[in-house]
Amino acid sequence: MPTDRKPEFFKGSQLKVAIIGCGYVGLPLALRFAEAGHKVTGFDTDPEKVRVLNAGKSYIEHIQQTKIQQYVNSRYFSATTDFSKLKDADAILICVPTPLNEYREPDLSYVEETAKSIYPHLQKGQLVVLESTTYPGTTEELVLPILEKSGLRCPIVASSENDNVPFDFFLAFSPEREDPGNKQFGLAQIPKVVGGVNPASGRAAVSLYAQVVAKVIPVSSTKAAEMAKLLENIFRCVNIALVNELKLLCLRMGVDVWEVIEAASSKPFGFMPFYPGPGLGGHCIPVDPFYLSWKAREYDFSTRFIELAGEINTAMPYHVVDSIADALNQQKKSLKGSKLLILGVAYKKDVDDLRESPTLKIMEILKRRGADFDYNDPYFPQLHKMRHYDYSHMKSVPLTADALSKYDAVLIATDHSSYDFGAIVDASKLVVDTRNATRRVIRHREKIVPC
């Protein structure tokens, strides 16, 4: 018997919301729903994360511990590893990683395993929403067939068609738009794109998210919502690749690319500034273009523009290492056997986020070329084993004038606000700057190598 629950049910107060994946995306979302008065359960396979959350503590720098404590104490939020409790939820939101494998192909194992964890406990009338960034078609082609192993049905119906089709549960896609460390735009202020596999599912998801964000943007299908997310991040990827390539040309021509960008930014229309760096980092921008280019091959379509941008950005860590080698060469020193200090391992300033950080690739290349290096990052006192890298033996070294003076070169990989770049330049023999962090340093310009 199809569910009698209507999409408008999800406009109700004190819903039971399950969020699978308590990381940089899932945890802020969980707290926002708790703030709106809903009973939230965070699901995670990591028992330590669950223990920390239930103790009212935070393991993510920019998420306040007091907020977690508040909702744990009021019983609006709790965490568990027990997926059988999904049966009690009204809505189930999937916020798990979608990385690339070693061949730069989509790795949807986390999404697949999560769907397999849901279907034995799926109930009539539940709303399931995938938030993880992925290629167009994932919700319909991967998630839906797994959920329907439960014996429940959610037919795919175009928004232009009659939606009086019986169904047992709702299914939608709504891409996350989390920007860790962004103090101007929090989750509540960022519009939410929503697409359902059928009109009823779309309306159910709109009803739910309208309670926690300022604006919801409904689209005609899950594929449209999935593609919208990819467009957002590919737009950034392509434009960053453009300025990275222009930076290489400007370096060769003796032109300051940062000055050029600032001048171009004075145009009040038709221009948006993007900035070069040591490579792309974060959970989306370095990954998402490859999701679309991979899927495009299924349609015998070559995404040449996207793939070129990916090539340029992927090459930037190699350019950084070459720049260090050239700078050392000017000092009559070899990269092999040199002692280097890397400032910043986070993928961007002022966040405790290592995902796809270009610094990790730079470290790998430096090691391969025989350099010896340490790192300093106030957000990472010690590194841990990651998907593709293992620097778990390394700890952040103290940043003192005496310590800086002992390195052959200092690489500014991440421009954390806590760094005193004037003092760093004063104490260092050589500074290779990938972020234009030393632009206001007047003294010892001869020590600074732009990169």
Catalytic residues: 284
Tell me the sheet residues that pair with 47.
none
Q: At what angle do helices 358-368 and 304-330 cross, to 10 degrees?
A: 50
**Considering Cα of 374, then 389, then 393, then 334, what sign does the dihedral take?**
negative
3-state secondary structure the chain: CCCCCCHHHHHCCCCEEEEECCCCCHHHHHHHHHHCCCEEEEECCCHHHHHHHHCCCCCCCCCCHHHHHHHHHCCCEEEECCHHHHHHCCEEEECCCCCECCCCCECCHHHHHHHHHHHHHCCCCCEEEECCCCCCCHHHHHHHHHHHHHCCCCCCCCCCCCCCCCCCCEEEECCCCCCCCCCCCCHHHCCEEEEECCHHHHHHHHHHHCCCCCCEEECCCHHHHHHHHHHHHHHHHHHHHHHHHHHHHHHHHCCCHHHHHHHHCCCCCCCCCCCCCCCCCCCCCCCHHHHHHHHHHHHCCCCHHHHHHHHHHHHHHHHHHHHHHHHHHHCCCCCCCCEEEEECCCCCCCCCCCCCCHHHHHHHHHHHCCCEEEEECCCCCECCECCCCECCCCECCCCCHHHHCCCCEEEECCCCCCCCHHHHHHHCCCEEECCCCCCCCCCCHHHEEEC
State both tokens at 200.
């009823």
Distance CA(363)–CA(372), nearest Å, equals: 10
Return the sign of the alpha-carbon dihedral for residues 353, 356, 357, 362.
positive
